[in-house]
Amino acid sequence: EVKLVESGGGLIQPGGSLRLSCVASGFTISNFWMTWVRQAPGKGLVWVSHIKNDGSATSYADSVKGRFTISRDIAKNTLYLQMNSLRAEDTAVYYCTTLVISSPIDYWGQGALVTVSS
């Protein structure tokens, strides 16, 4: 069975840091451009970051560039999102996903809620 399970969310003060983890099972993350997508409360979906399938490149939305870092551990089949200098506007559910655009496979996790508030 394919699963993506995020963890590491929570309540954090502005300026703080959190690291989200996404453990994959049933498939190998190195076969996909793994992606983080976020959804602020009551709002739509926004692409945040991805890491190329071979790990050679990463990309970030302008809103998080310089503050967030995506990485992965192939041995643990786990994707990460290190989030630093958090702001209130980073409050959202963060989804780990393959976000495939061209083939009949696409996986999403259940999401991890990050709340940035004092």
Partner 1 sequence: DVVMTQSPLSLPVTLGQPASISCRSSQSLVHSDGNTYLNWFQQRPGQSPRRLIYKVSNRDSGVPDRFSGSGSGTDFTLKISRVEAEDVGVYYCMQGTHWPKTFGPGTKVDIK
CB-wise, 9 or 111, nearer to partner 1?
Answer: 111
Using CB under 8 A as the binding criterion, the count of chain residues that bind partner 1 stands at 20
Among 64, 95, 112, 116, binds partner 1 (CB under 8 A): 95
Give the integer Cα–Cα distance in Å for 35 and 42: 21
Q: Does 99 bind partner 1 (CB under 8 A)?
A: yes
Amino acid at residue number 34: M
Among 11, 74, 100, 117, binds partner 1 (CB under 8 A): 100
Amino acid at residue number 39: Q
DSSP H helical segments within 12-102, as ranges? none
Q: Does 102 bind partner 1 (CB under 8 A)?
A: yes
Q: Does 41 bind partner 1 (CB under 8 A)?
A: no
- C-beta neighbour count of 35 within 10 angstroms: 20
Give the integer Cα–Cα distance in Å for 110 and 69: 21
Contact residues for partner 1, defined by CB under 8 A = 37, 44-47, 59, 61, 95, 97, 99-104, 106, 108-111
